[in-house]
Amino acid sequence: GMPAPLQDRLLLDGARLGSIASSLREIARQDDPVGRVTGGRTLSSGVRVEQLSVPLGVVAVIYEARPNVTADAFALCLRSGNACVLKGGSAAQDSCEAIVDCCRDALAEAGLPADAAQYVPDDASHSETTALLRANGLVDVLVPRGGASLIRHCVECATVPVIETGTGNCHVYLHEDADVEKAVDIVVNAKCSRPGVCNAAESLLVDACAARRLLPPVLAALSERGVELVGDALAREVASGVGVSMGEAAESDWGREYLDLKMSVACVDGVEAAIAHVNRYGTGHSEAIVSESYAACEAFLAGVDAAAVYANASTRFTDGGVFGLGGEIGISTQKLHARGPMGAEALTTTKYVLRGDGQTR
């Protein structure tokens, strides 16, 4: 049958539709990101220079089983003055097409061109996907949103500019000075609240010197919620001592995005080792430390290379709506042109406007 995380992503019940509607209203209430003067000066020649925000143009979004992305992408593109070309996965095709039909009707009712929102149906040959990836001169930027294989395919095969949105091998690191209660709450929320999303934690790190204090209650809480655990030798020893089942982690587990109720557990020797582990195996998405030590938290926040870093909070907060962006077209894990949750402002660029009175150079 269909995996539970996939069913969760496809679900469009009353609550989910209400959430989508709320997101659209919040985006509609936002200030217009287009036409803002982001900088300006008068040159010695008397020419006035202003830098203005302008739309990117045509934004293509390729995504998988996420019907809500259809509405968010449309709304954010409209808010930022862009046209959008949307291509969802086959599992969500009927839902996505229905949402786009609503969007096109709304554009027409508002006196705007309905063709500013286009939907490309899924096809078995993937020829439409290939065409989008190579639509230079027609598509200004492509945003892939989905699993690692989809994103890798788009990055490797596209000739149009791509903003890489991230797979999320997110970590929670329990420093030796972590509060046990906070550790349990944060790890359980980060792993179990919605395991099939990209901001869910996949890996648990713990200082080896505090493993016997911190791991037992955390592992017990995860085990009670049906989380399959794999770990290194010390983690397995601690788990065995408290009657929690834990398999042996393979090297591939440290870099794997499970998108399911599964988690790897590794013991490290201090904050610098934790930072090194995260930077080696992480995907640059969201990383968290749990510690009562200000110095340890600041070292982690400064040293980890990710779009969002947390001290004493769950990785699950990495979301455009939660960040006050109304929604997101994706969570960028690259450093150019945008990073982190991408709202309407991230779908703009700038142009220079110069006004003179006959000056020459």
Closest CA to 264 of 284, 285, 282, 291: 282
Q: To which H or E segment does residue 311 belong?
A: strand 308-311
pLDDT for the residue numbered 1 = 79
Query: Which residues in the chain come in under a pLDDT of 50?
Result: none
Phi first, then psi: give them for residue 218, nearest 5 degrees. -70, -45
pLDDT at 124 (0 to 100)? 65
Within-domain flag for 333? no
Tokens read off for 14: 């009353």
Q: In what order do the strands lie in the sheet with 117-119?
A: 117-119, 83-87, 58-63, 141-145
Length of the chain, in residues: 361
Q: Are 158 and 62 in contact (CB under 8 A)?
A: no
Helices (H), the chain: 4-10, 14-29, 67-79, 93-109, 127-133, 148-157, 180-192, 211-224, 233-241, 271-281, 294-303
Judge if 60 and 137 occupy the same domain.
Answer: yes
| Half-sphere exposure of residue 25: CA atoms within 13 angstroms, side-chain side | 6
Q: Residue 62 is part of which domain span?
A: 54-165
301: exposed, middle or buried (C-beta count within 10 Å: 0-12, 13-18, 19+)? middle
79 within domain boundaries:
yes
Domain boundary among 165, 191, 216: 165
182 lies in the same domain as 98: no
Same domain, 187 and 148: no
- State the greatest distance between any 2 C-alpha atoms of the chain, in Å, as a whole number: 83
Answer yes or no: is 30 within a domain.
no
Do 131 and 109 share a domain, yes or no? yes
User: Would residue 11 count as lying in a domain?
Assistant: no
pLDDT at site 346: 96
Could you tell me the CA-to-CA distances from 258 to 152, 155, 168, 261, 262 in Å, in that order?
17, 21, 9, 8, 6
Contact 219, 241 (CB under 8 A): no
CA 315 to chain CA mean position, Å? 11
Q: 197 near 187, Cβ under 8 Å?
A: no
Number of structural domains found in the chain: 2
Structure-token pair, residue 208 = 């080896």
Q: What is the pLDDT of residues 145-168, one digit of tens each?
A: 888 888 999 999 999 999 998 789
CA distance 337 to 160: 14
Q: Which one of 108, 131, 165 terminates a domain?
A: 165
Block residue for tokens 């960040």: 323
Sequence-ordered list of residues with C-beta below 8 angstroms from that of 272, at least 6 positions apart, any chain: 299, 303
What CATH number does the domain containing 138 carry? 3.40.605.10
Assess if residue 325 is contained within a domain: no
pTM for the predicted model, two decimal places: 0.88
